[in-house]
Amino acid sequence: MDKVTYNGMTFVPYIKESTIQGRITEIAAQITNDYSGLRPLFLCVLTGAFPFAADLFRSVGIDAEISFIRLKSYEGTSTTGKVKEVMGLTENLEGRDVIVIEDIVDTGTTIKELVEDLKAKGTASVKVASLLFKPESLLHDVKPDYTGFSIPSKFIIGFGLDLDGLARNLRDIYVLEEK
């Protein structure tokens, strides 16, 4: 793991892929246990959660379905505070158990609005699995049901997280280097 540079910013290694994969295996086991006998719908929030969702979905030991939704609340390195639905749901969620897969919960604005919207669609239950969680950044009373890693409020990239669309394909997670 070496430093990487995007848009003139240098990022240093933060969480190795092997550590990420180990945590995904643990979360998958927990979900397998919690949803035994059920067939939940995994709802991947594109684009950032895609690598996490793919690995998590393949690791659970239960029958499940997956679908995708695209929301946008970031521009560059900061949140806009507004959630835009770019690509919506097509499934009927009435009576379904839904597991929202997020890359990161920081302010909590996106996940709060999404969970409220899903519950209004008549779901049996809605839980959230997030690879990363920034408790210091929360503006709402939300917490993922399944968390990969709680991290400080720093800007990170890799494993799905981007800087203006770049760096999503990095296998490790990197943090902005402090000067």
As separate numbers, helices (DSSP H) first and strands (DSSP E) second, the chain gives 3, 10
Q: Would you call the peptide bond into 47 cis, given omega within 30 degrees of 0 as the criterion?
A: yes
Fill in the DSSP letter of residue 114: H
Fill in the DSSP letter of residue 177: P
Q: Per the residue annotation, which of 2, 34, 106, 162 is the catalytic one?
A: 106
Fill in the DSSP letter of residue 142: -
Would residue 106 show up in a list of annotated catalytic residues for this protein?
yes
How far, in whole angstroms, is CA 54 from its chain's centroid? Answer: 11
Give the C-alpha distances (Å, rounded to integers) separating 78 from 51, 69, 164: 22, 21, 11
User: What whole-number distance in Å separates Cα of residue 22 and Cα of residue 50?
Assistant: 17
Task: Supply the residues annotated as catalytic.
Answer: 106
